[in-house]
Structure 1
Amino acid sequence: MAMVPPPITLDVLVGAVSETQRIRIGVIGCGTVAQIMHLPYLRSLPAQFEIFALSDLSPGLLDLLGERYGVPATRRFLDYRGLLESEVDAVLVLSAGSHAPQVLAAAEAGKHILVEKPLCFTLREADEIAAAVSRSQVRLMVAYMKRFDPGFRHGERLVHAMREPRYVQINTLHPSEDQYIDIHGVHRFGDIPRDVAQRAEKAQEELLDEAVGAVSSALRFVYHDVFLGSMVHDINALRSLVGEPAGVLFTDIWPPDSKFPSVTTVLRHAGNLRTTYTWTYLAEVRDYFEELAVFSSSERVRVQFPSPFLKHWPTPVVAQRMEHGALVEERVEVSHAEAFREELLAFHECVVSGSQPLTDTADARTDIAVLQQIFAAFDPAGLGGEAKTSRG
């Protein structure tokens, strides 16, 4: 039986930076995740980051956050292209929808990039981003914060030491986000010009046409909001735990054309390993549940993520095994370190040392490819829809 590895420390996670270098960072998109997580944690790391410039489509929000974080009016931009012309060293792309336009422009401007998931909506966009990053030789890291969670890293080490995993079970019970967001006092002004909002909506619909074709509006919502907005985290984590899926055996999305969807899929891996993944929206009960569990004949490891909108909640890892005929169960809470803050430290390390990001363009592209295979395996025939294929 493999020894239980020691907890991951911050130095092991991001590496020791011999000489701290302060990065001037520009934030593109100042919505929910920026206000709750990224901006406060950037400010908590003054030796690593200076919040140098802000960009958002909302004038009121831009002014409010500019004052709060000490960004002068001359470095607040309604158009992100103005921010890219400033003296920022790196950008944090948090805008809604596909991030491809902002990421491509940032790469061409020679700025290092930390971009929230999803990287983009289509494989074509991902390939264009990879080419732009290669040409410019900037560092691009995709913000899969769960990969930097100390609890997840501990569970990952346990799984990698496991002999012949047989079964992976992923369950996400997703309540209404408002029950969590409201405690943070997120600001919204509703002052984005109508023509600007309409152009953004049109661009998103065109990308959805390219990605999933002529499916119902409800299924388009499932693709961009559920698959790319939430399930992408678990697919990325799954791949880091047990490797790449070899195929999709089954997908169901139900109820048909519902505003409150559920998804179940079964993935095939090499050998005898299978994954069953159910994501379900259960709006009213304020108890977010997300667990990745890996089982073998002799060991079981469960990684239990808290709500992504709660700060400094640990990610427990529960491990079971037999010893001398007795069942042994260990529950480990590695750290209260916040995953969003840890990923910022990891990004800083990549920029100042030139190291390769853990979660890069290729990693994100594979996630999109897997999700599109999962989506394409759903056959809505008989549910009032039309059979379709994923287009990439």
Structure 2
Amino acid sequence: MERVRVRVGVVGLGEVAQIVHLPILQALADRYEIAALCDVSPGLLAAMGERYGVPPERRYADAHELAAQPDLGAVFVLNSDEYHAEHAIAAIRHGKHVLVEKPMCLSEREAVEIVAARDAAGVQVMVAYMRRFAPAFTEAVAAVRALPKINYARVRDIIGANRLIIEQSSAVLRFDDVPAPLGEERAERARRLVAEAIGDAPPEIVSAYRLLLGLGSHDLSAMRELIGRPQRVASARQWNGGRFIAAILEFDGYFATYETGVDQQRRFDAHLEVYGDTASVRVQYDTPYIRHLPTTLVTQETRGEAFVETVTRPTFKDPYTHELETFHEVATGKAAPKTTPEDFVEDLQLFAEIVAALRAA
């Protein structure tokens, strides 16, 4: 049976859109049509419009104008996270389904407004936590649930700055043509929203919160699906100006460690590992900026006299592709999203608990 093609408008044409979303949308041409583009850079907007065959009248500098385009079925909100809530709500109010990159928003108030708009419009909103769509991860969830007991868990995401990988693997277009007042307004909006979320805070706590919203949201969201939400944050520390964080999380009968940071090494070490009495389960991720690097599932188990390690690569298909295939099912009414706005609120609440522990330290 022929699939329904969803006409998509894309808001934000930066590096992740250029390397990941737009090429995948083009590759999934049986499911999607790139029908509108939006960016605040005139040069980038023109270049991406020409590359993907979007005519000038369907290229927008204002996301609200794109949201009003009547023939769109969905909008991808991929721009700077200070604008995610505003632009997602604009699309929702025009009856569009929305895929919004993480973090969905910066404050819980914005999340409540997104949920209210979604419910009023009767559309779907899915948060783009692509790691949770990797087959290795979904297999790990089943394997962890089969463990009779959990003794310990570790969540780790220590990576080199994205540019270190991108500059060796992709040609990303960047234009120096964004009006200066827009940059100033973005910085002020970020300051205001972070203050709304965590109150007045020193720069290192602000930086730590932004790290949690960005890189940390991937890890802690996946952790919640894998082992649930912790009962409390036992302790947390930050250093290097909030660019590194370590936390101890208490669960029912065991503890987990969370460690994250960004440095200048050209490597990507992101994994979750759960330790049982006689078996452990680990999901290992690689950088999403080089497509089709495999996510692997590593299990270790003692069987009688033997210690057995198994490495499973379920597929070369990258998690982003699985995510966009799933969103197509959501946008065509065949599935409900698992990464909902309500699910993201769980992350915001956990971030707030970690920030409180950082302050207490």
TM-score norm. by structure 1 comes to: 0.89
Structure 2 equivalent of residue 358 of structure 1 = 338
| SS of residue in 1 equivalent to 2:359 | coil
> How much does 1:173 deviate?
1.5
Structure 2 equivalent of residue 273 of structure 1 = 254
1:319 maps to 2:299? yes
| SS of residue in 1 equivalent to 2:302 | strand
Paired amino acid for 1:194? A
Counterpart Cα distance in 2 of 1:328 and 1:115:
40
Structure 2 equivalent of residue 345 of structure 1 = 325
Unaligned runs of 5+ in 1: 1-17, 382-392
2:192 is aligned, of 192, 206, 225, to: 206
1:136 maps to 2:129? no
Task: Report if aligned partners of 2:81, 2:104 keep a CA contact under 8 Å in 1.
Answer: no
Deviations 1:261-316 (CA, angstroms, capped at 9, x unpaired) = 211001112x2022101112221x21111110000112111111111212101112
TM alignment of 1:234-273, pairs within 5 A: 234-255=219-240, 257=241, 261-269=243-251, 271-273=252-254
1:46 maps to 2:29? yes
Counterpart Cα distance in 2 of 1:136 and 1:216:
39
Paired amino acid for 1:49? Y
2:14 is aligned, of 26, 31, 37, to: 31
Q: Aligned residues, how many?
A: 358
Question: What is the aligned-residue identity percentage?
Answer: 36
Moved more, 48-57 or 332-341: 332-341
> How much does 1:196 deviate?
2.0
2:170 is aligned, of 181, 184, 200, to: 184
Counterpart Cα distance in 1 of 2:316 and 2:104:
27
Task: Report if aligned partners of 2:233, 2:247 keep a CA contact under 8 Å in 1.
Answer: yes
1:196 is aligned, of 169, 178, 182, to: 182
Deviations 1:124-180 (CA, angstroms, capped at 9, x unpaired) = 111111111111110111000001112112222211211111211112221121111
> How much does 1:197 deviate?
2.0
> How much does 1:379 deviate?
2.7
Structure 2 equivalent of residue 147 of structure 1 = 132
Structure 1 equivalent of residue 42 of structure 2 = 59
1:163 maps to 2:148? yes
1:88 is aligned, of 72, 81, 94, to: 72
- Which one has a larger percent helix, Structure 1 or Structure 2? 2
| SS of residue in 2 equivalent to 1:92 | strand
Deviations 1:325-381 (CA, angstroms, capped at 9, x unpaired) = 211111111110111111111000011125310111111111111111111111366
Counterpart Cα distance in 2 of 1:380 and 1:324:
46
Counterpart Cα distance in 2 of 1:143 and 1:263:
23
Task: Report if aligned partners of 2:156, 2:219 keep a CA contact under 8 Å in 1.
Answer: no
TM superposition outliers: structure 1 runs of 4+ over 4 Å: none
Structure 1 equivalent of residue 316 of structure 2 = 336
1:174 is aligned, of 156, 159, 171, to: 159
Paired amino acid for 1:272? G
1:370 maps to 2:350? yes
1:231 is aligned, of 208, 212, 216, to: 216
Unaligned runs of 5+ in 2: none
> How much does 1:19 deviate?
4.5
Paired amino acid for 1:339? P
Counterpart Cα distance in 2 of 1:327 and 1:195:
61
| SS of residue in 2 equivalent to 1:379 | helix
Deviations 1:80-136 (CA, angstroms, capped at 9, x unpaired) = 111111121100000102310001111111100000000000111111111111111
Structure 1 equivalent of residue 263 of structure 2 = 282
2:53 is aligned, of 70, 74, 94, to: 70
Counterpart Cα distance in 2 of 1:111 and 1:280:
36
Task: Report if aligned partners of 1:36, 1:186 keep a CA contact under 8 Å in 2.
Answer: yes
Deviations 1:225-247 (CA, angstroms, capped at 9, x unpaired) = x1111011011100111112111
Counterpart Cα distance in 1 of 2:35 and 2:207:
35
